[in-house]
Amino acid sequence: MRSVSIIGFGQTRFGELWEKGFREMIAEAGVKAVQSAGLDGKEIEAVFGGTMASGRFIGQEHIGALIADQLGLNPIPSTRSEAACASGSIALRNAFHAVASGDHDIVAVGGVEKMTEIDVGATSFALGGAGDQETELFHGATFPALYALMARRHMHDYGTTEQQMAAVAVKNHKNGMLNEHAQFHKEFTIEQVMNSGYVASPLKLLDCSPISDGAAALIVAETGKAKKLVEQPIEIIASSQSSDSLALASRKSLTELAGTKHAAKTAFERAGIKQKDVSVAEVHDCFTIAEILAIEDLGFFKKGEGGKATEQGRTALNGEIPVNPSGGLKACGHPVGATGVKQAGEIFLQLTGKAGKRQVKGAEIGLTHNVGGSGATVTVHLYRRA
Amino acid sequence: MRSVSIIGFGQTRFGELWEKGFREMIAEAGVKAVQSAGLDGKEIEAVFGGTMASGRFIGQEHIGALIADQLGLNPIPSTRSEAACASGSIALRNAFHAVASGDHDIVAVGGVEKMTEIDVGATSFALGGAGDQETELFHGATFPALYALMARRHMHDYGTTEQQMAAVAVKNHKNGMLNEHAQFHKEFTIEQVMNSGYVASPLKLLDCSPISDGAAALIVAETGKAKKLVEQPIEIIASSQSSDSLALASRKSLTELAGTKHAAKTAFERAGIKQKDVSVAEVHDCFTIAEILAIEDLGFFKKGEGGKATEQGRTALNGEIPVNPSGGLKACGHPVGATGVKQAGEIFLQLTGKAGKRQVKGAEIGLTHNVGGSGATVTVHLYRRA
């Protein structure tokens, strides 16, 4: 396989963007990414886009073609991928294959979601399509309910507390203060999180990531070519993806995501590195318990110790393994199709030393972890300076 | 790039399959494909699925994970791609890249759509999401209306007649009689097509492909490995994809698909062959006019001569270039996500000499042509015996 690197990144602000449509967001993120790579757009040979539920959110499918059209990139190939909340990283993975194969040298990766044009009930129902429609959604199990089951069992088995989950929210909101593209710029205390209303016990409002609009885009190139185009490409040293049952009830355990463990194992083996080598990670914190599961299942902490580690500040921006410097899904926002692309973009900024006030000092190797549904799809990517 | 070949194919019958759910169809097509390649399933390293609008049709997204789950293939990666009616061939193309890159040796490609669980109005609206929601669908332009505009202009510019379009339907229904998986087993005369009711003038009921349920699956492998597994792999000698504007009104011409012309040019150049070398083609006849556009834009006939060529029998099963031996979308049916996969499967059967009563004698090289929307995405693949 040819080596593949990221050479540019752009995104819209994430949030309730009443003033921006789906198409405007694509254009803004795409143009910013092209400019960030010092290109003018003509060099792009193909586009890989990630969107989850545009059919339900805005009545529009065929998003690949829309992206090419909107960015003036016809007639190059443009493809949409979907894996629920992991749609963005799946698009990155398809782009990775297209460049690694030699079919393309320079491609764009986009992620976009416009979630605020329909009412919240319809949004919840659309998002429920990420789980098992027949055995979960149809019976009323929306995503906070599914993750609440995982949280409750984790508390039962390992003594994880609601305060420890709150510590994830507090940390990520603190990081989000340093990210100009974050949906929320508001710090919270443990007490404030604890006093927010229950959505699905034990998960409270401030344990949940928000409904968001937003887009993010990357430019990806064969590493040899990348080195000629930009000063510091960031190489994708492993791209890994795993599947698990759609329905939570079919899993062996509620306290781990088997997909995360499998994808992480594969990725670390391929890259030939260990967890201790990772300087910075963006993980899928759709709910606070999800970040605790992630840092355990990725192998940064032992099973059952993720909550305590967070409470102790070990995942803070100045901790031993900074997790979610962007603010994560919790504070930066979670426009589902865009999230996986933004995660890779954040690592690109961190490893090129362009992360501004939230820069992790001396960041050498980065990791992204993106989850679809309650864990039926998981991707893990590893990155280092090329 | 490594060479990539098809080694197995399976499909459900296409039709109004009231007795089969989305999941049963995946299982049936997947198992048949695995068996056809003489495998037991454990050899599959990844899955690439194509589905257009499952969110609207059955309330379920995250189809990649569902496929892996349903086929017992966890934890291997499983990804859904979407490009409206070209979703199946886009999935094939992503699989092609994954194998060509060296990341995977043996993968499965699936296409599936369950379209008959919601009422026909809702189905039309979901399908409209393949076009431009803001400038077409919202204003009432469903797909028969869009293709009617193309047909009317083709008649105006080139003297194409409704009888010539009817000849496409007559031919494809004749071919469909020989395909046990076809939705319709019923022959029609030109008069019967001409006497069917107008859907969107000049297109009549029998000019339109149907609403269908169905699934199809392929097994794809690196060619060296493929040769060890099966007697006769079919090599994909070119995989090409193009984009055009989503909206018909933004195109320079109504009488050609620029995407088809561009994708065909690229594919023939890559394969180093000419149109005259092609023995058999499966093209995208969502409406009869679409097949006429296709055989012209692919370069089999001069612009404006596709209707006459069809009338003269030049695209019949025993003609100079047999088009749609499977019966095409018109008679075999058009479960949108499955169509592109079925097309490749038909060529696999033709080139391996397993197409039964509809076998094109001495078929050496095959072509598939799959269109998303009114032409905003077009794929062209070329195949020959490895």
- Hey, which residues does B248 pair with through a beta bridge? none
Contact residues for B309 (Cβ-Cβ < 8 A; gap 6+): B295, B300, B301, B315
B84 neighbourhood in chain A, CB within 8 Å: 61-62, 65
Q: Detail the DSSP E strand segments found in chain A.
A: 4-11, 46-50, 78-82, 106-114, 198-200, 203-204, 213-222, 234-243, 280-282, 365-372, 377-385
Confirm whether B97 is a catalytic residue.
no
In chain B, ranges of CATH 3.40.47.10 domains = 4-119+212-234, 140-207+237-385
- How far is the alpha carbon of B94 from chain A, nearest alpha carbon, in Å? 6
Q: Hey, what CATH topology would domain B140-207+237-385 get?
A: Peroxisomal Thiolase; Chain A, domain 1 (3.40.47)
Contact B246 A66 (CB under 8 A): yes
Q: Which of A46, A218, A105 is nearest to B240 (CA)?
A: A46
Please give the Cα distance from B386 to B380 (Å, whole number). 19
Mutate to test the interface with B, among A4, A26, A78, A82 (most CBs of B within 10 A): A82
Contact A75 B242 (CB under 8 A): yes
* Torsion angle in degrees (nearest 10) through CA of A359, A288, A214, B134: 170
Amino acid at B124: S
CB pairs under 8 A between A and B: 219
pLDDT at position A36 over 90: yes
Question: What pLDDT sits at residue B304?
Answer: 98
Please give the Cα distance from B90 to B378 (Å, whole number). 9
Question: What pLDDT sits at residue A103?
Answer: 97
- Residue B328's Cα: distance from chain center in Å? 8
Helix residue ranges per DSSP H, A242-299? 258-271, 288-297
Looking from the CA of A374 toward its CB, the CA atoms found within 13 Å total 29
Query: Considering chain B, what is the average pLDDT of its residues?
Result: 97
pLDDT at position B121 over 90: no
pLDDT at position B113 over 90: yes
Question: What pLDDT sits at residue A120?
Answer: 86
For B61, name the nearest residue in chain A, comparing CA atoms only: A129
DSSP symbols for A299-334 = TSS-TT-HHHHHHTTTTSTTSSS-B-TT-HHHHH--
The confidence band for B234, taking pLDDT boundaries of 50, 70 and 90, is very high
Whole-number CA gyration radius for chain A:
19
Contact residues for B91 (Cβ-Cβ < 8 A; gap 6+): B48, B49, B50, B79, B80, B81, B109, B110, B111, B340, B341
State the catalytic residue, choosing from B154, B334, B369, B381.
B334
List, for residues A155-206, the tens digit of each pLDDT value.
999 999 999 999 999 999 999 999 999 999 999 999 999 999 999 999 999 9
Contact B65 A56 (CB under 8 A): no
The confidence band for B380, taking pLDDT boundaries of 50, 70 and 90, is very high
Residue from the list A69, A132, A241 with its beta carbon closest to the beta carbon of B376? A69
State the catalytic residue, choosing from B85, B208, B286, B332.
B85
* Total-model pTM: 0.97
For B133, name the nearest residue in chain A, comparing CA atoms only: A60
List, for residues A309-364, the tens digit of each pLDDT value.
999 999 999 999 999 999 999 999 999 999 999 999 999 999 999 999 999 999 99
Average pLDDT over residues A283-297: 98
- Residue A142's Cα: distance from chain center in Å? 20
For A73, name the nearest residue in chain B, comparing CA atoms only: B243
Question: What pLDDT sits at residue A121?
Answer: 87
B239 neighbourhood in chain A, CB within 8 Å: 103
- Evaluate whether the domain defined by A141-209+237-385 bears CATH number 3.40.47.10: yes
The two tokens of residue A150 are 């995982």
A196 to each of A121, A189, A202, how far by Cα in Å? 20, 11, 11
Contact B73 A258 (CB under 8 A): no
Contact B246 A2 (CB under 8 A): no
Confirm if B137 and A59 have CB atoms less than 8 A apart. Answer: yes
Contact A65 B246 (CB under 8 A): yes
The confidence band for A57, taking pLDDT boundaries of 50, 70 and 90, is very high
Contact B377 A78 (CB under 8 A): yes
Mutate to test the interface with A, among B4, B52, B61, B297 (most CBs of A within 10 A): B61
B98 neighbourhood in chain A, CB within 8 Å: 97, 101
Confirm if A366 and A383 have CB atoms less than 8 A apart. Answer: yes
pLDDT at position B126 over 90: yes
Contact A243 B83 (CB under 8 A): no
Q: Are strands B280-282 and B365-372 parallel, antiparallel or unpaired?
A: parallel
The confidence band for B120, taking pLDDT boundaries of 50, 70 and 90, is confident
The confidence band for B99, taking pLDDT boundaries of 50, 70 and 90, is very high
pLDDT above 70 coverage of chain A, percent:
100
- How far is the alpha carbon of B97 from chain A, nearest alpha carbon, in Å? 5
A244 neighbourhood in chain B, CB within 8 Å: 65, 69, 74-75
List, for residues B328-375, the tens digit of each pLDDT value.
999 999 999 999 999 999 999 999 999 999 999 999 999 999 999 999
Confirm if B340 and B86 have CB atoms less than 8 A apart. Answer: yes
Question: What pLDDT sits at residue B90?
Answer: 98
Q: Which residues of A are part of the catalytic machinery?
A: 85, 334
Average pLDDT over residues A44-55: 97
Contact A56 B60 (CB under 8 A): no
Contact B133 A68 (CB under 8 A): no
For B128, name the nearest residue in chain A, comparing CA atoms only: A60
- Between A1 and B120, residue with greater pLDDT: A1
In chain A, ranges of CATH 3.40.47.10 domains = 4-119+212-234, 141-209+237-385
Q: Which of A216, A219, A181, A180 is nearest to A11 (CA)?
A: A216
- Angular region, B333: left φ>0, alpha ψ -120 to 50, beta rest: left
Please give the Cα distance from B248 to B235 (Å, whole number). 34
Amino acid at B230: V
| DSSP designation for B225 | H
Amino acid at B23: R
Dihedral sign computed on CA atoms, order A120, A189, A332, A298: negative
B102 neighbourhood in chain A, CB within 8 Å: 1, 100-101
Please give the Cα distance from A10 to A71 (Å, whole number). 14
Please give the Cα distance from A59 to B218 (Å, whole number). 30
Q: Are strands A365-372 and B4-11 parallel, antiparallel or unpaired?
A: unpaired
Confirm whether B156 is a catalytic residue.
no
Contact B102 A102 (CB under 8 A): no
Residue from the list B58, B74, B83 with its beta carbon closest to the beta carbon of A64? B83
For B270, name the nearest residue in chain A, comparing CA atoms only: A103
CATH tag for B4-119+212-234 (out of 2.30.30.140, 3.30.160.60, 1.10.10.10, 3.40.47.10): 3.40.47.10
